[in-house]
Copies of this chain bind each other. A is one copy, B any other.
Protein backbone atom coordinates (compact mmCIF):
# COMPACT_ATOMS: atom_id res chain seq x y z
CA UNK A 1 0.00 0.00 0.00
CA UNK A 2 1.72 3.12 -1.24
CA UNK A 3 2.00 5.79 1.43
CA UNK A 4 3.62 9.16 2.04
CA UNK A 5 5.31 9.14 5.44
CA UNK A 6 6.33 12.01 7.74
CA UNK A 7 4.26 14.51 5.80
CA UNK A 8 1.90 17.34 6.66
CA UNK A 9 -1.59 17.33 5.21
CA UNK A 10 -3.78 20.39 4.99
CA UNK A 11 -7.08 19.39 6.55
CA UNK A 12 -9.44 21.34 4.33
CA UNK A 13 -9.95 20.24 0.74
CA UNK A 14 -9.44 22.30 -2.40
CA UNK A 15 -12.65 22.18 -4.45
CA UNK A 16 -13.30 23.09 -8.08
CA UNK A 17 -16.24 22.71 -10.45
CA UNK A 18 -18.84 22.43 -7.68
CA UNK A 19 -16.84 19.72 -5.94
CA UNK A 20 -16.56 17.47 -9.00
CA UNK A 21 -12.81 18.00 -8.73
CA UNK A 22 -11.34 18.06 -5.22
CA UNK A 23 -7.90 17.60 -3.76
CA UNK A 24 -5.92 17.84 -0.57
CA UNK A 25 -2.47 19.33 -0.24
CA UNK A 26 0.42 17.26 1.12
CA UNK A 27 3.56 19.10 2.26
CA UNK A 28 6.91 17.30 2.35
CA UNK A 29 9.88 17.94 4.64
CA UNK A 30 12.01 18.98 1.65
CA UNK A 31 9.63 21.85 0.91
CA UNK A 32 7.92 20.22 -2.05
CA UNK A 33 4.18 19.68 -2.25
CA UNK A 34 1.75 17.37 -3.96
CA UNK A 35 -2.01 17.23 -4.13
CA UNK A 36 -4.03 14.03 -3.93
CA UNK A 37 -7.31 14.46 -5.74
CA UNK A 38 -10.44 13.02 -7.26
CA UNK A 39 -12.07 14.04 -10.53
CA UNK A 40 -15.62 12.90 -11.23
CA UNK A 41 -16.63 12.26 -14.85
CA UNK A 42 -16.94 15.53 -16.76
CA UNK A 43 -14.99 18.06 -18.80
CA UNK A 44 -12.64 20.51 -17.13
CA UNK A 45 -9.99 23.06 -17.97
CA UNK A 46 -7.15 23.98 -15.64
CA UNK A 47 -4.27 26.38 -15.67
CA UNK A 48 -0.85 25.81 -14.12
CA UNK A 49 1.53 28.12 -12.33
CA UNK A 50 4.32 25.65 -11.60
CA UNK A 51 4.98 22.73 -13.92
CA UNK A 52 3.12 19.60 -12.82
CA UNK A 53 3.43 15.86 -13.09
CA UNK A 54 0.00 14.22 -12.94
CA UNK A 55 0.05 10.58 -11.89
CA UNK A 56 -3.21 8.73 -12.46
CA UNK A 57 -3.81 6.25 -9.63
CA UNK A 58 -7.12 4.94 -10.95
CA UNK A 59 -9.74 5.85 -13.54
CA UNK A 60 -9.60 7.02 -17.13
CA UNK A 61 -9.31 10.43 -18.72
CA UNK A 62 -8.39 12.19 -21.93
CA UNK A 63 -6.02 15.14 -21.82
CA UNK A 64 -5.31 17.94 -24.28
CA UNK A 65 -2.28 20.05 -23.47
CA UNK A 66 -2.12 23.69 -24.52
CA UNK A 67 -0.73 24.04 -28.03
CA UNK A 68 -1.29 20.39 -28.90
CA UNK A 69 -3.97 19.01 -31.18
CA UNK A 70 -4.16 15.42 -29.96
CA UNK A 71 -6.09 14.17 -26.95
CA UNK A 72 -4.17 11.50 -25.05
CA UNK A 73 -5.82 8.81 -22.97
CA UNK A 74 -4.48 8.01 -19.50
CA UNK A 75 -5.51 5.31 -17.06
CA UNK A 76 -4.33 4.01 -13.68
CA UNK A 77 -0.54 3.80 -13.57
CA UNK A 78 -0.01 6.45 -16.25
CA UNK A 79 1.47 9.90 -15.77
CA UNK A 80 1.77 13.03 -17.85
CA UNK A 81 3.56 16.36 -17.54
CA UNK A 82 2.02 19.80 -17.80
CA UNK A 83 4.32 22.79 -18.43
CA UNK A 84 4.36 25.82 -16.14
CA UNK A 85 2.02 28.72 -16.97
CA UNK A 86 -0.07 26.72 -19.39
CA UNK A 87 -3.61 25.42 -19.70
CA UNK A 88 -4.88 21.90 -20.22
CA UNK A 89 -8.25 20.32 -20.87
CA UNK A 90 -9.52 17.09 -19.37
CA UNK A 91 -12.35 14.75 -20.25
CA UNK A 92 -12.75 12.38 -17.32
CA UNK A 93 -14.42 9.16 -18.46
CA UNK A 94 -14.09 7.07 -15.27
CA UNK A 95 -13.66 8.61 -11.81
CA UNK A 96 -10.00 9.56 -11.61
CA UNK A 97 -7.86 9.29 -8.50
CA UNK A 98 -4.66 11.27 -8.98
CA UNK A 99 -1.47 12.54 -7.41
CA UNK A 100 -0.18 15.86 -8.73
CA UNK A 101 3.45 16.82 -8.05
CA UNK A 102 4.45 20.46 -8.41
CA UNK A 103 7.90 21.25 -9.70
CA UNK A 104 8.72 24.51 -7.96
A29 — nearest CB in chain B belongs to which residue?
A: B6
Are B6 and A8 in contact, with the CB atoms below 8 A? Answer: yes
Are A9 and B38 in contact, with the CB atoms below 8 A? Answer: no
Q: How many copies does the complex hold?
A: 2
Interface residue tally for chain A (C-beta within 8 Å): 29
B1, B11, B95, B97: which contacts A99 (Cβ < 8 A)? B11
Answer yes or no: A65 CB below 8 A from chain B CBs: no
Among residues 1 to 49 in chain A, which have CB atoms less than 8 Å away from a CB atom of chain B? Answer: 1-13, 15, 18-20, 22, 24, 26-27, 36, 38, 40
Are A38 and B57 in contact, with the CB atoms below 8 A? Answer: no
Given contacts A3-B9, A40-B40, list 12 more A-B pairs with CB under 8 A.
Answer: A1-B12, A3-B10, A4-B9, A6-B7, A7-B9, A9-B9, A11-B99, A12-B58, A12-B97, A19-B95, A22-B97, A24-B36
